[in-house]
Amino acid sequence: REAMKQVRVWNSEPGVVRPVRMSVNLSARSLHEQDLVEQIETRLAETECRPEWLQVEVTERAAVDGDERATNAPRARRDDRH
């Protein structure tokens, strides 16, 4: 949530020509949460952060520790929107 608030502040500054993007890492535990996408969407709305300002990354460790279903869930949701 704090990362989303900060990137919104940066992108609200006068004179920003190209939007700033921030990357956040997901833990292996987060990948197993059934409502992960909904949690992210809720926080985006709460912080007024535009989705294109946020890059969600899966760490190598999380990918190794997670199962295929968990690591593919965020991609599947993103792909549904395009």
Dig out the tokens for 57 from the structure. 């990354």
Provide mean pLDDT across the span 5-29. Answer: 86
Place of tokens 């919104």: 8
pLDDT, tens digit, 9 for 90 and up, residues 42-77: 999 999 999 999 888 887 776 676 555 555 555 555
Q: What pLDDT, on a 0 to 100 scale, did the predictor assign at position 75?
A: 56
Dig out the tokens for 60 from the structure. 């190598």
Dig out the tokens for 41 from the structure. 């969407």
Global pTM value = 0.65
| Amino acid, res. 10 | W
Check if the beta carbon of residue 36 is closer than 8 Å to that of residue 73: yes
Check if the beta carbon of residue 12 is closer than 8 Å to that of residue 47: no
Q: What pLDDT, on a 0 to 100 scale, did the predictor assign at position 59?
A: 76
